């Protein structure tokens, strides 16, 4: 079932006390942006201690990414404007994560290549997100380009970025992002193209 992953269920349980209060999904989205940008600022500093705090803020931001949508759904508070705010917030913050990691590792042996890798990962996130949104709009069954498994959505990987930073894996994470994310963007584009060709054939 859509929106029924473990992280959705957890967010749903946590935001139930907010039903009927003055808190809206847009408030949670704004907090998602603030915590995400603060995390990225910590990463971009290049300071090892701040990297750790940034990882904490990132996990919080990833959770709020789930919470705003769940409050909108179960509180019957969905709106076109809220959806756009949530969408642009997610794309922007997720892209900024990789750019910030690249800036933060500029003094590593990667040098300025780290910044370039971060930009490649960030831009690829934007492309993949835009293409994925287009796929979901065109697919009559409402499927996603990459389906989840065992109660986990594909984008639950965002939660793992924080622990990866805690474990000191920022360097390999950055290098992998510059290779893997562009591949996912290309696969998403190919699936959208295939879907469009199938619709044209009918």
Which domain, by its residues, includes 104? Answer: 6-201
| Within-domain flag for 164 | yes
Tell me which H or E stretch contains 102: helix 80-104
Cα 60 from Cα 28, distance rounded (Å): 11
Which residues sit opposite 149 in a β-bridge? 152
Q: What is the pLDDT of residues 85-94, one digit of tens each?
A: 999 999 999 9
Shortest CA distance to 84 belongs to which of 155, 153, 25?
Answer: 25
| Within-domain flag for 129 | yes
161, 177 contact by CB (below 8 A)? no
Cα 55 from Cα 155, distance rounded (Å): 17
Q: What is the pLDDT of residues 117-130, one digit of tens each?
A: 999 999 999 998 88
| Within-domain flag for 1 | no
Cα 114 from Cα 105, distance rounded (Å): 6
- pLDDT (0 to 100) of residue 147: 60
pTM reported for the whole predicted model: 0.85
| Within-domain flag for 110 | yes
Q: Give, in order, the Cα–Cα distances in Å from 149 to each of 50, 146, 156, 162.
A: 33, 10, 11, 21
Average pLDDT over residues 165-174: 91
Q: What is the pLDDT of residues 176-200, one digit of tens each?
A: 999 998 998 888 788 777 776 676 5
Helix (H, G, I), strand (E, B) or coil at 75: coil
Q: What is the pLDDT of residues 58-114, one digit of tens each?
A: 999 999 988 998 899 888 888 889 989 999 999 999 999 999 999 999 999 999 999
pLDDT at residue 1 tops 50: no
Q: What is the CATH number of the domain that holds 133?
A: 1.20.120.1760
Q: Encode 168-182: b = buried (16+ Cβ within 10 Å), e = exposed.
A: eebeebbbebbeebb
- Looking at the structure of the chain, the number of domains it has is 1
202 token code pair: 């009918």
């Amino acid at each position: 079932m859509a929106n029924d992953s473990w992280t959705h269920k957890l967010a749903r349980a946590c935001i139930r006390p907010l039903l009927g209060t003055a808190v809206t999904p847009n408030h949670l989205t704004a907090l998602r942006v603030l915590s995400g940008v603060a995390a990225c600022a910590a990463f971009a500093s290049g300071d090892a201690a701040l990297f750790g705090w940034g990882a904490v803020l990132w996990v919080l931001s990833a959770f709020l990414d789930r919470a705003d949508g769940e409050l909108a759904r179960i509180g019957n508070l969905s709106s076109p404007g809220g959806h756009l705010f949530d969408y642009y917030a997610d794309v922007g913050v997720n892209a900024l994560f990789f750019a910030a990691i690249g800036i933060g590792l500029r003094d590593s042996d990667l040098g300025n290549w780290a910044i370039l890798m971060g930009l490649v990962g960030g831009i690829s996130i934007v492309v993949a997100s835009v293409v994925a949104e287009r796929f979901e709009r065109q697919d009559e069954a409402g499927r996603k380009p990459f389906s989840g498994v065992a109660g986990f959505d594909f984008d639950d990987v965002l939660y793992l970025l924080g622990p990866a930073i805690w474990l000191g894996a920022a360097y390999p994470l950055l290098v992998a992002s510059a290779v893997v994310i562009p591949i996912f963007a290309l696969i998403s584009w190919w699936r959208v193209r295939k879907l469009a060709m199938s619709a044209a054939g009918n």
